[in-house]
């Protein structure tokens, strides 16, 4: 039998999710700066005071949304990499999954670079968290590739992995907001061809 406290917990979590879903729609519609807690409350069908039972400010509410989406993004990236065996395929699959999810999310929510720029201060910290996870994943792939004699050995694999993640970020933001002028798969193929030319072991000419 479900206890009263458990029922109340389920009800409370349901209301919290409703607030988050409503907030995502309002932030998407108006952007972070113009969105108000009153509009979020109206969208969720609750009082503004009820929101403050869960989130102390608009900033905290927005950060919670960003954090939740970043965690989901990471799960998709990690799952794509685990589905492959060859280290090169792992890197390619993870990168493709990352860009595809980002592009679909931006398209579905009708987001623009304006949305990104005005909320950058809140997004940056979570992007750094995601980059750390990606760098750790890449480091493991590089080490695996070195063991299989697919990739050349480098003095500091951790540094190379982190530098690559940071470099790729410079491509990712404009590409994601560019729509489908170039297909996501072609973008990834271009990046991977450049990357693998630099780190793959070359056959001996002798």
The predicted-structure confidence for 81-129, as pLDDT tens digits, reads as follows 999 999 999 999 999 999 888 888 887 777 777 777 878 888 888 889 9
According to CATH, where is 1.10.357.10 located in the chain? 63-199
**Residue 192 token pair:** 């991977």
According to CATH, where is 1.10.10.60 located in the chain? 1-56
- Per-residue pLDDT tens for 36-66? 999 999 999 999 999 999 999 999 999 999 9
- The confidence score (pLDDT) of residue 125 equals 86
Q: How confident is the model at residue 182 (pLDDT cuts 50, 70, 90)?
A: low
Phi, psi of 114 (to 5 degrees): -65, -45
Long-range pairs for 142-145: beta carbons < 8 A, 24 or more residues apart: 142/87, 142/199, 144/87, 144/90, 145/87, 145/88, 145/199
Percentage of the chain exceeding pLDDT 90:
50
Let me know if domain 1-56 sits in CATH 1.10.10.60.
yes
Q: What is the pTM of this model?
A: 0.78
| Helix 157-177 and helix 87-109, axial crossing angle in degrees, nearest 10 | 30
User: Which CATH code for domain 63-199?
Assistant: 1.10.357.10
């Amino acid at each position: 039998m479900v206890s009263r406290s458990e029922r109340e917990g389920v009800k409370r979590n349901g209301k919290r999710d409703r607030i988050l879903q409503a907030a995502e729609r309002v932030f998407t519609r108006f952007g972070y700066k113009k969105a108000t807690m009153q509009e979020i409350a109206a969208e969720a069908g609750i009082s503004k005071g009820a929101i403050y039972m869960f989130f102390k400010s608009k900033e905290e509410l927005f950060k919670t949304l960003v954090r939740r989406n970043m965690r989901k993004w990471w799960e998709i990236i990690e799952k794509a990499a685990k589905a492959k065996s060859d280290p090169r395929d792992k890197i390619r699959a993870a990168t493709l999954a990352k860009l595809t999810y980002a592009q679909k999310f931006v398209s579905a929510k009708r987001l623009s670079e304006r949305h990104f720029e005005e909320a950058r201060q809140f997004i940056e910290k979570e992007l750094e968290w995601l980059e750390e996870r990606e760098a750790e994943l890449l480091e493991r792939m590089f080490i695996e590739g070195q063991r299989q004699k697919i990739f050349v050995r480098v003095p500091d694999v951790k540094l190379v992995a982190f530098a690559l993640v940071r470099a790729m970020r410079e491509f990712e933001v404009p590409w994601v907001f560019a729509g489908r002028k170039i297909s996501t798969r072609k973008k990834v193929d271009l990046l991977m061809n450049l990357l693998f030319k630099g780190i793959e072991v070359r056959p001996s000419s002798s």
